[in-house]
Amino acid sequence: MRKLPRVLMLFLAATPVLFASTGHAACGPADTDFSVAPALPAVPVAIALDDDRVLLGKHGERVPIDRKLAWIDNASDLMPRTWADKVDWSAYRASGKIAGAAPTKLYFDPDGRLCRVERYRALRGQAVLDGGFALSYDTAGALAAYIEYQREYEQAGASRAQPYTATRRACLQRDAKGQLTTFIDDGCGEAQGAGPSRHYVRDASGRLLRVIDKVSSEQPVAVQTMDAQGKPGARYVRQSPNYHAPGVSLALTAYPTPPGQTPDRLFPLHREALAALPVEVPENPWRVVRIKDDVPLDDDMMSWDPDTQMVLAEAAQATPNGAVLTPAQQKQVWQAMGEHPGRVFFYPDPMTRVMLLPAMAPEKWKACSDPANTATDACAG
C-alpha cells in the first residue's frame, strides 16, 4: 500500500471515518501490553466515555454510547451493534491546555479505523491511564476483536510488569465470504471456554437460516429461525416452565415461543404429559380451551371471556393425579397446541390459567441449536 502523505494522515486522525480495506489494518493485535502506547498519533477527546451519554453522529444523528464497543440488542437487530464507529469524534477533539488533561485519548490507523481507546483518571494531580480498549480488524477492514483493559491499582507495584488486566475479550468471526458466523461477547479464546455468544447459521449460498444464542460454549438458550425471504420466523427457547404446581418439573425445556407478548405463564410440556395435567387443588373444576382465531392475541381481557373460548376438555374436579384427559382429548389438545400457538390454555381452576406450549424433543433441540447443522428444517417437526 502506498504511504499516505503526512497531511492526509493527520486529517484522517482528526476526523476519523471507517473505510473498507483490502489490506491488513495497522491496528492490533487486541491482546497486547496495554501499558505500551501504539506508534500512532493520539487524539485527545474532551469527554469521558464511562458514563451514559449521547454523542453526535457523523450524519448529525444521536449516538448513545455503551460500556461495550459491540453488543447484542435482543429487542431488535440480530446483528451486533456498535457505536464508536458512528461518532463524529472531530466534534469532541480537545486542543491546547485542555488536551493535556483530556479524560480520553483515541488512536486511529491511517484509514480512520479506531485502534485504541484510553481512559484517564486524575490521581494525585496526575492523569493516570485507567484502562480502555484495544481493537483489531480482519484483512477486509471489519472489526474482528476488542479487549477491554482495566488497571489493577492494588497490584500495580514496581514488581508488576503489566498492571492492566483484560476484563472482556470479544470477537467477531466471519467466513470466507466475509459473512458473520459468530459473535462472542466475552471469553473469546480463553481456555475455560467462551461466555455469551451468538451464532449465525447459513446455507451454501450464504442465506441466513438460524441465529443461535448461547450463555456458554455448551449451553444454547435460544434459536431464531429465518424464512426464505430473510424475515424472522419461529423462535425457540430453552427455559424452565413458570407454572408451579405439584408434579411440575422445573427442568430446562425447549419450546417455540408464542407469537407476540403475553402476560400469561407458560407451561411447555411433551405429548405424554397431557395424560394428567398437574393441579394444586384437585377439588376445583378445570378445563382446557382454545381461544377463537378472531380474538386478538393481545386482547387479554377478551380472551378470558368464556364466549371466546372453545372447550377441548373439562371436568367438575380433578383427581389426586391431576386433570386427566382421555386419549381423544389428548390428541385434540396436542393438535390445537401445534396449529394454534398461543391460543391453548389450561385452567386448573376458574381464576387461574397457563398457556400450553408443545415442548421440543431433546434430539430435535440438539439439532436445532447446533451451529454446524445447516439443514433448513433443523427445527421443524
The tens digit of pLDDT for each residue in 243-299 reads: 999 989 899 999 999 988 899 999 999 999 999 999 999 999 999 999 999 999 888
Sketch the domain layout of the chain as residue ranges.
6-195, 260-358
- C-beta neighbour count of 164 within 10 angstroms: 23
Q: H helices of the chain, where?
A: 6-14, 97-100, 300-303, 327-339, 362-368
The tens digit of pLDDT for each residue in 220-248 reads: 999 999 999 999 999 999 999 999 999 89
The tens digit of pLDDT for each residue in 179-209 reads: 999 999 999 988 788 899 999 999 999 999 9
The tens digit of pLDDT for each residue in 111-123 reads: 999 999 999 998 8
Q: Distance between CA 259 and CA 233 in Å, rounded?
A: 10
Sign of CA dihedral 267, 272, 274, 277: negative
pLDDT band at 17; cut points 50, 70, 90 = very low
Q: Which residues contact 286 (CB under 8 A, 6 or more apart)?
A: 277, 279, 314, 315, 317, 318, 323, 346, 347, 348, 349
- 44 touches 99 (CB < 8 A): yes
First to last CA, the chain: 53
Inform me whether the pLDDT recorded for 158 exceeds 80. Answer: no
* Distances from the Cα of 169 to the Cα of 106, 115, 145, angstroms: 19, 15, 8
Q: Which residues contact 234 (CB under 8 A, 6 or more apart)?
A: 225, 256, 379
Q: Which of 104, 73, 76 has the alpha carbon at shortest distance from 89?
A: 104
Which bin fits 282, alpha (ψ -120 to 50), beta or left (φ > 0)?
A: alpha
pTM score, two decimals? 0.86
Q: What stretch of H or E contains 119?
A: strand 114-123
Q: Give SS3 for 85.
A: helix
Q: Distance between CA 145 and CA 115 in Å, rounded?
A: 11
